[in-house]
Structure 1
């Protein structure tokens, strides 16, 4: 029970379905937790955008996990859509960081600091790389290997 209280919802779905937790999953959740703790004290600009994007993506993802857990057949394209949405979220996170930095340079009142923008940008860029790698491995490489198996 304690483990269920600590783990995010999507982790719980994965564990209950006895699926492997990949590095991207652990890395993402640990770094988001650390960054959130780091940023909360400053109530940094951009935080509302980060949370809103995250909630939207997770709402779709949790719905997908729930439907699959309930035994519904869900098109592979829906899983691809979720991953593409996550990749888009990482791009938008970098855009928000750029905007916050620009506003700070223009002298606008913007509660943030350069160090936070650097850490957030590094986090979002690393997620972007890892989610793109995941997309390629899960959907491009597997599709090619399945097509090769069918042609043999």
Structure 2
């Protein structure tokens, strides 16, 4: 990877350190952190680094999807910090679930290019799929525990 794609992925990589710093702030404020939160913010740095290290060009799709989710997520955090209520909170989590599920659909083209044309980055690909699989599992579990049938978050 080189040029604008590398630069964009590198900025995205750096943004993951900011998100990790966000987690440190929550810890210093003695806010409770669930496993999903700290695991996600710690391992995603390694995953994005592997994209840069091994030149995974298809990672730009994940970067776009994740950045879009984070725009809405940080809007939610901002409004919540001001005491406001955001109606789409549960859809943020659902959007993240969709994002990770779609990553498995996108495996098809990568696998085609890898086995037919010798596309690089096999180790980073496998690592990303393992991480995305764990994220999918953890986000589905979080969604069910937070918004499942009869949960307080569902009541109006």
Which of 57, 60, 68 aligns to 1:48? It is 60
User: Does residue 1:86 correspond to 2:96, yes or no?
Assistant: yes
Q: Which structure has the greater CA radius of gyration?
A: 1
Q: CA RMSD in A?
A: 2.7
Which of 132, 135, 140 aligns to 2:143? It is 135
- The number of equivalent residue pairs is 138
* TM-score computed with the length of structure 1 as normaliser: 0.77
Any residues of structure 2 matched to 1:1-152 within 5 Å, and which? 7-8=18-19, 11=23, 14=26, 19-75=31-87, 78-107=88-117, 110=119, 112-140=120-148, 143=151
> Equivalent residue of 1:41, what SS?
helix
Deviations 1:10-34 (A, max 9, x none): 5378558753111001111111101
Shift of 1:84: 0.3
CA 1:114–1:66: 2 relative to 1, 3 Å: same
Shift of 1:73: 2.1
> Equivalent residue of 2:83, what SS?
coil
Counterpart contact for 1:97–1:120, Cα < 8 Å: no
Counterpart contact for 2:146–2:153, Cα < 8 Å: no
